[in-house]
C-alpha cells in the first residue's frame, strides 16, 4: 500500500514538474518537433491498449475537471480548433516530461533491486502520464483531420 501511495503521489507531482519544464522549453528550436509526436498511429493498437476506455474514464470522472481548456464548445471554428490543438500539445508534452521524471524513480528502485516498488511506480506512471499523453496524440490526430477539412 505504501508503494501505491508513493507511486500515485510522485506521478501527480510529476504533472507540476512537466508543466514547469514545458514552460522552460516551449520557445526552444526543438519544440516544434515535440509538438508533432505520434507514437501510435494505428487506431486498432490504441483500441487494444485501452485508450478508448481511458478516454471514457477521463470524460466521465473527476478527471474531466482538470484541464478545462481541452473542451470544444458547440460551434466549431478554425481558430478555436488551432487553440485546442495547442492546449492538447501542452498537455501531451507536459505528461511526457512527467513520464520521464517518474521513470527515473522507477529505474532507481529497480537498480536497487526493489523490483516490486519499481513496477508499481511504472504502472501508476503509465496510467497517470503515458496514457494521457497517448490520448492527447489521438485527439490531435482527430483535430488535424477536422482542420484539414476546414482549410
Better-predicted residue by pLDDT, 41 or 92 = 92
Give every CB contact of residue 39 below 8 A, 6+ residues apart in sequence: 134, 137
pTM for the model stands at: 0.83
The DSSP output letter for 61 is: S
Asked if pLDDT for residue 34 goes beyond 70, the answer is: yes
As a whole number of angstroms, the distance between CA 22 and CA 96 comes to: 10
Place of cell 508543466: 19
Look over the chain and give the mean of its residue pLDDT values, rounded to a whole number: 89
pLDDT, one tens digit per residue, over 100-115 is: 999 999 999 999 999 9
pLDDT of 73 strictly over 70: no
Listed in sequence order, the residues at least 6 apart from 74 whose beta carbon sits closer than 8 Å to its beta carbon are none
User: Is pLDDT above 80 for 76?
Assistant: no
Amino acid at each position: 500500500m505504501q508503494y501505491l501511495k508513493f507511486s500515485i503521489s510522485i506521478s501527480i507531482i510529476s504533472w507540476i514538474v512537466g508543466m514547469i519544464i514545458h514552460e522552460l522549453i516551449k520557445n526552444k528550436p526543438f519544440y516544434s518537433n515535440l509538438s508533432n509526436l505520434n507514437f501510435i498511429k494505428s487506431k486498432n493498437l490504441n483500441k487494444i491498449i485501452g485508450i478508448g476506455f481511458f478516454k471514457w474514464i477521463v470524460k466521465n470522472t473527476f478527471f474531466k475537471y482538470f484541464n478545462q481548456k481541452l473542451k470544444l464548445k458547440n460551434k466549431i471554428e478554425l481558430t478555436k480548433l488551432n487553440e485546442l490543438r495547442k492546449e492538447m500539445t501542452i498537455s501531451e508534452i507536459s505528461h511526457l516530461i512527467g513520464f520521464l521524471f517518474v521513470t527515473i524513480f522507477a529505474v532507481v528502485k529497480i537498480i536497487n533491486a526493489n523490483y516490486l516498488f519499481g513496477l508499481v511506480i511504472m504502472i501508476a506512471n503509465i496510467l497517470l502520464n503515458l496514457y494521457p499523453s497517448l490520448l492527447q496524440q489521438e485527439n490531435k490526430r482527430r483535430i488535424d483531420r477536422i482542420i484539414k477539412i476546414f482549410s
